């Protein structure tokens, strides 16, 4: 029994160590503008502080939870200097590592003072207050529709969980559901505040506070109301339904608040109320008569300007033109006491003014609204005009309120377009075609307009008119539809978020399905290959068999494709990253993505994100010249280009990142390598080898560490990450022209190419990726060290020889003479080793299967697989083999890294 108790405390330590390792890894990848990575660090701190016991390591526990709080504040941008705060976190992590991993005493190590100070402040409650203030003051700003879509899609499941846990509160274990609810709201708070859904984050914050205070009875109803409210908010952002109104407040009177919401909805919903009477009795009819044609002129001009603005977002002159129109109409309307027109013009003037001050960039949705406003003004003025001629003194106008309400919505949910845009791979259609498709114009009209556009006058005039302008001027087409067509042409994203419908399936079920399909294929081939069946002469049977074969092969293809997802989402995140970085560094960059539909195994897609972030960060920070002047002096366009590509080739997936920046600075690399003692001054190495040095740990030529990159931990981590996906990273650089990082990845982690070798009666599979070559050495090539270790002399180097048969204790007759067997040279961890086997059976693609807990951690075996004959084959892990034979011998100077193990999937 005693040993078991020890084991649990051991396992606790293991858990702590695992936690801190994960944490330090996550921190390396965490970047301040990448929220998910920051949240990961935050969560890991939480896990760590929970796993640490207050008895044995009180300081660590406290430090971890203080750091967790600090991380939260960094994420919520509630710290003065986020870089300094991150440094505090970094120091905390290294101290924690010292204590937890190197068994230093808690009393010997000190956590950063600032951390304690920070958390002390925190206890005083300032933080909470400031947090609330922050959230209330900042305006709602939807950050990115793509990320929002993802968030919303996830929320359906979160909502279900939420409801479940709320109802569970009445169950047997309210404490656990309370803490679960806290966790959900906490996460939701962080995510929603990042996405600018401030009402959601505020609500979650309030709930977090009351969760522990109120009794279960008082809690359930408000929580359910909140749950429904959240659902409506999500629907609203997904473009379905109305905004549900204010946050239900629990601490105040609940019922009143709910009532308020209902009133709110009814106002916005009922258009019949949206009618306004315009009284003309007080107007000077002469002045009015003068105003009408003038206003119509202004509106028409504004329409033309707005169209220009649609395609050239930064056309300041056009923006001014639109602004002027609204301004003039506002002035005259005020003078004439037309309050409705005044209000309308005024509100839109405000919007345009903000655009003029560059506070906002007018996006498609806003421009649509301005078109609507212009139409509305025109409509009102025409109505006034007809009223005057009929001698009426008042008239009814409808729809103004709705328009103003939508303007408010636009103001709230403003998306700021940036300089970086996702350029679609092909622009395709022309304006005329799109208009035709939308049935906006007749072919004849289009033809006329095209002829006009092509006419000599137009071409020779100083500012040739565009098709859209001609169409609008001749009033054949409403300007709004031209604008929409133009937008479609430019492929600007639609403002309404689209949620793709998917079914979430238990990964185990999926695995079972794929396993069963694999079995079916084996069973099928066993039948059709069996001599008994082959000897049958029935054509019908043969046809049926081939049909069976076809179906089972199709099934297998579908099975593998189930796990494949397009890389699109990852690429979109990268576009976002580049845009943010471009703002931060002030470098203008055009970011192009190609091959977003390329499909990869889900687990690969999930894990390729971090390396890509690093590579892009590098490209932005180091790759691209400091300023556009630098670029121009090198004869390049001021706008830099970064291209992210994904494509299939040779049965692998390639992901490439190419920039047209400075390229690698080989002299700096060389100098750094000499400084670090990696090469000698007189060494001559190829450019390629020199370039590859950047993948070594701690290798950074950057003189200054910026908050974007340059800490020198990047490239080796990237390389390791990619290798852990069984991929390969390559760099090709042309000084002055740019750098290309090429990542080669297997299509799936579950399938590998393997060499099947034979030892006695047993078969093993060596991953082809690690096989260097096969040799059959001569007797003189084999030598021994102290009669304990054999070596092979190969190309001027001595290579350790492992006799697999002996190592694995294979029974029966095996080849024990290296000169008669086959030696497979494999590369493991940067070292070559020779493996003695009997013979090579062949090459084969195999699906990796987990061997289960019992066989966990057998050095040298990475997993199992089902061979075509239905038996199990074992897959060798060269790194593990090397480790198990190495003992304490140091074989090379480099510190031996953690072995990159094959990732085994069940």
Partner 1 sequence: MSNPETINKNETTEIRQIEQTEKYLTFELSKEVYGLEILKVHEIIGLLHVTRVPRMPEYVRGVINLRGKVIPVIDLRLKFGLEAGIDTELTCIIVVQVTGHSQSVTMGIIVDEVSEVLDIDRNQIEDTPNFGANVNTDFILGLGKVEKGVVLLLDVDQVLSDTTMDAVISKVPNNENDIPETIEAEME
**Residues at the site binding partner 1, with contacts judged by CB under 8 A:** 512, 514-516, 518-519, 762, 784, 787-790, 803, 806-810, 816, 849-855, 857-861, 864-866, 870-874, 884-885, 887
Say if residues 614 and 718 touch (Cβ distance below 8 Å): yes
Neighbour count for residue 868 (Cβ, 10 Å): 13
**Rounded Cα gap, residues 116 and 267, in angstroms:** 51
Task: Provide the token pair at 523.
Answer: 């069973």
Residue with tokens 């260097």: 772
- Which among 566, 625, 588, 623 has a CA at the least distance from the CA of 421? 588
H or E, element range at 671 = helix 666-675
Give least dist CB 569 to partner 1, A: 30
Q: Are 412 and 140 within 8 A, CB to CB?
A: yes
CB of 768 to partner 1, least distance (A): 21
Task: For partner 1, give the closer residue by CB, 484 or 865.
Answer: 865
Dihedral pair phi/psi, residue 60, rounded to 5°? -60, -45
**Is residue 60 a contact partner of residue 72, using CB atoms and an 8 Å limit?**
no
The residue (of 515 and 630) whose beta carbon lies closer to partner 1 is: 515
Q: Are 381 and 325 in contact (CB under 8 A)?
A: no
Q: How far is the CB of 872 from partner 1 (least distance, A)?
A: 4
Least separation in angstroms between residue 602's CB and partner 1 is 20
Instruction: Tell me the closest approach of the beta carbon of residue 724 to partner 1, in angstroms.
Output: 22
Please say which residue, 300 or 515, places its beta carbon nearer to partner 1: 515
Q: Which is nearer to partner 1, 79 or 522 (CB)?
A: 522
Toward partner 1, which CB reaches closer, 217 or 853? 853
Q: Cβ(13)–Cβ(598) under 8 Å?
A: no
Q: Which is nearer to partner 1, 813 or 871 (CB)?
A: 871
Element (H, E) at 599: strand 599-601
Phi, psi of 411 (to 5 degrees): -60, -40
Q: Residue 204 or residue 517: which is nearer to partner 1 going by CB?
A: 517
Asked whether the beta carbons of 821 and 804 are under 8 A apart, the reply is no
- Supply 700's token pair: 């950074």
Q: How far is the CB of 2 from partner 1 (least distance, A)?
A: 14
> Residue 171 CB, nearest distance to partner 1 (Å)?
24
CB of 534: closest distance to partner 1 in angstroms?
Answer: 23
Q: Which is nearer to partner 1, 789 or 843 (CB)?
A: 789
Shortest CB 530 distance to partner 1, Å:
17
Q: At what angle do helices 479-490 and 364-390 cross, to 10 degrees?
A: 170
Instruction: Identify which of residues 142 and 881 has a Cβ nearer to partner 1 in the complex.
Output: 881
Handedness of CA 704, 709, 713, 716 (dihedral sign): negative
Burial of 422 (0-12, 13-18, 19+ CB in 10 A): buried
Of residues 53 and 850, the one with the C-beta less far from partner 1:
850
Q: Tell me the closest approach of the beta carbon of residue 751 to partner 1, in angstroms.
A: 14
- The CB-of-102 to partner 1 minimum distance in angstroms stands at 22
State the minimum distance, in angstroms, from the CB of residue 34 to partner 1: 34
Residue 846 CA to residue 864 CA, distance in Å, equals 9
Looking at the Cβ atoms of 520 and 679, the one nearer to partner 1 is 520
Bridge-based pairing state of the strands 738-746 and 728-734? antiparallel
Q: Which is nearer to partner 1, 129 or 512 (CB)?
A: 512
Q: Which is closer to partner 1, CB of 285 or CB of 811?
A: 811
Which residue number, 285 or 516, has a Cβ lying nearer to partner 1? 516
Enter the tokens of residue 464.
Answer: 């040739």
Q: How far is the CB of 522 from partner 1 (least distance, A)?
A: 8
CA distance 704 to 75: 25
Q: Kindly report the backbone phi and psi dihedral angles of residue 544, in degrees, each rounded to the nearest multiple of 5, phi listed first.
A: -65, -35
C-beta separation of 368 from 483 below 8 A: yes
CB closer to partner 1 out of 149 and 801: 801
Cα 904 to Cα 601, 609, 717, 901: the distances in Å are 14, 20, 20, 9
* Minimum CB distance to partner 1 smaller for 518 or for 609: 518
CB of 88 vs partner 1, minimal distance in Å? 36
Strand, coil or helix: 794: strand
Of 272, 276, 903, 195, nearest in space to 497 by CA: 195
- Report the residue number, 514 or 752, with the smaller CB distance to partner 1: 514
Least distance from C-beta 526 to partner 1, angstroms?
12
Other beta carbons within 10 Å of 480: 20
Q: Which is nearer to partner 1, 567 or 823 (CB)?
A: 823
Rg over alpha carbons for the chain, rounded to the nearest Å, is 34
875: which residues sit within 8 A by CB, 6+ positions away? Answer: 752, 754, 764, 765, 766, 767, 846, 848, 861, 862, 863, 864, 865, 902
Distances (CA, A) of 290 to 197, 201, 287, 296, 297: 47, 53, 5, 11, 12
Q: How far apart are CB 519 and partner 1 at their closest, in Å?
A: 4
CB of 128 to partner 1, least distance (A): 38
Angle between helices 285-311 and 316-335 (to 10 degrees): 160
Q: Can you read off the two tokens belonging to residue 493?
A: 């994203």
Alpha-carbon distance of 66 to 46, in angstroms, equals: 10
Listing DSSP states for 731-776 in one string gives EEEETTTEEEEEEEEES-SSEEEEEEEEETTEEEEEEGGGEEEEE-
**Half-sphere exposure for 793 (CA within 13 Å, toward CB):** 9
Closest separation in Å from C-beta 788 to partner 1: 5
How many residues does this entry show for the chain?
906
Tokens 């031996």, residue located? 896
């Amino acid at each position: 029994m005693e040993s078991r108790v020890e084991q649990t405390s051991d396992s606790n330590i293991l858990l702590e160590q695992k936690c801190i390792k994960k944490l330090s890894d996550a921190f390396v990848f965490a970047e301040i503008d990448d929220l998910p990575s920051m949240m990961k660090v935050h969560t890991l701190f939480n896990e760590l502080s929970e796993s640490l016991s207050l008895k044995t390591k009180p300081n660590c526990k406290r430090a971890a939870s203080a750091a967790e709080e600090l991380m939260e504040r960094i994420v919520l941008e509630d710290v003065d200097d986020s870089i300094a705060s991150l440094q505090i976190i970094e120091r905390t992590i290294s101290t924690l590592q010292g204590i937890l991993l190197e068994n230093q005493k808690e009393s010997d190590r000190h956590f950063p003072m600032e951390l304690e100070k920070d958390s002390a402040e925190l206890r005083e409650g300032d933080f909470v207050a400031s947090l609330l203030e922050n959230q209330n003051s900042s305006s709602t700003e939807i950050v990115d529709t793509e990320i929002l879509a993802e968030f919303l899609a996830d929320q359906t499941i979160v909502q279900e969980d939420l409801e479940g846990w709320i109802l569970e509160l009445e169950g047997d274990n309210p404490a656990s559901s309370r803490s679960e609810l806290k966790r959900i709201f906490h996460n939701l708070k962080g995510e929603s505040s990042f996405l600018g859904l401030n009402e959601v984050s505020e609500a979650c914050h309030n709930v977090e506070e009351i969760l522990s205070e109120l009794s279960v009875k008082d809690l359930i109803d408000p929580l359910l109301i909140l749950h429904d409210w959240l659902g409506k908010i999500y629907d609203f952002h997904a473009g379905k339904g109305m905004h549900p109104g204010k946050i239900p407040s629990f601490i105040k009177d609940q019922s009143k608040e709910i009532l308020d919401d209902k009133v709110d909805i009814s106002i916005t919903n009922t258009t019949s109320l949206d009618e306004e009477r315009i009284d003309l009795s007080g107007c000077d009819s002469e002045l009015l008569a003068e105003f009408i044609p003038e206003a119509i002129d202004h509106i028409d001009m504004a329409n033309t300007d707005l169209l220009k603005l649609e395609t050239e977002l930064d056309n300041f002159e056009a923006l001014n033109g639109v602004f002027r129109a609204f301004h003039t109409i506002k002035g005259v309307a005020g003078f004439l006491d037309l309050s409705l027109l005044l209000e309308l013009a005024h509100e839109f003037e405000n919007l345009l003014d903000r655009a003029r001050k560059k506070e906002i960039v007018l996006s498609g949705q806003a421009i649509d609204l301005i078109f609507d406003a212009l139409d509305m003004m025109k409509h009102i003025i025409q109505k006034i005009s007809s009223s005057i001629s009929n001698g009426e003194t008042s008239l009814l106008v409808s729809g103004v309120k709705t328009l103003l309400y939508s303007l408010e919505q636009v103001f709230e949910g403003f998306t700021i377009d940036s300089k970086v845009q996702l350029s679609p791979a092909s622009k395709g259609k022309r304006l005329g075609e799109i208009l035709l498709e939308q049935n906006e114009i007749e072919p004849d009209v289009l033809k006329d307009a095209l002829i006009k556009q092509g006419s000599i006058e137009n071409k020779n005039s100083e500012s040739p008119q565009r098709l859209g302008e001609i169409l609008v001027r001749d009033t054949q087409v409403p300007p709004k539809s031209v604008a929409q067509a133009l937008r479609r042409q430019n492929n600007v994203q639609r403002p309404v978020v689209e949620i793709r419908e998917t079914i979430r399936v238990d990964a185990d079920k999926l695995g079972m399905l794929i396993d069963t399909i694999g079995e079916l294929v084996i069973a099928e081939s066993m039948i059709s290959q069996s001599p008994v069946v082959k000897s049958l002469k029935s054509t019908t049977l043969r046809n049926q068999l081939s049909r069976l074969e076809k179906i089972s092969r199709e099934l297998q293809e579908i099975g593998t494709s189930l796990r494949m997802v397009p890389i699109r989402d990852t690429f979109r995140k990268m576009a976002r990253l580049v845009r943010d970085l471009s703002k931060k560094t002030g470098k203008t960059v055009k970011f192009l993505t190609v091959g977003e539909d390329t499909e990869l195994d889900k687990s690969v897609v999930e894990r390729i994100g971090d390396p890509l972030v690093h590579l892009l960060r590098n490209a932005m920070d180091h790759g691209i010249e400091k300023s556009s002047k630098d670029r121009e002096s090198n004869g390049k366009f001021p706008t830099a280009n970064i291209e992210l590509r994904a494509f299939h080739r040779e049965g692998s997936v390639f992901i490439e990142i190419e920039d047209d920046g400075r390229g690698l600075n080989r002299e700096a690399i060389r100098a750094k390598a000499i400084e670090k003692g990696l090469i000698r001054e007189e060494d001559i190495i190829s450019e390629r080898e020199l370039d590859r040095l950047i993948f070594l740990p701690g290798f950074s030529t950057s003189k200054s560490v910026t908050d974007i990159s340059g800490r020198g931990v990047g490239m080796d981590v990237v390389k390791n990450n990619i290798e852990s996906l069984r991929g390969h990273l390559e760099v090709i650089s042309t000084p002055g022209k740019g750098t290309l990082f090429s990542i080669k990845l297997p299509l799936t982690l579950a399938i590998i190419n393997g060499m099947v070798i034979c030892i006695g009666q047993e078969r093993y599979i060596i991953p082809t990726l690690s096989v260097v070559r096969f040799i059959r050495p001569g007797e003189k090539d084999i030598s021994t060290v102290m009669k304990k270790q054999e070596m092979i002399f190969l190309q001027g180097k001595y290579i350790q020889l492992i006799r697999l048969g002996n190592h694995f204790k294979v029974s029966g007759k095996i080849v024990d003479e290296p000169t008669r067997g086959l030696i497979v040279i494999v590369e493991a961890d940067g070292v070559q080793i020779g493996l003695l086997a009997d013979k090579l059976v062949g090459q084969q693609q195999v699906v990796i299967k987990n061997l289960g807990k019992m066989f966990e951690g057998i050095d040298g075996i990475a997993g199992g697989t089902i061979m075509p004959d239905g038996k199990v084959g074992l897959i060798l892990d060269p790194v593990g083999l090397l480790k198990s034979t190495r003992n304490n011998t140091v074989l090379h100077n480099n510190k031996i890294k953690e072995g990159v193990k094959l990732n085994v999937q069940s």
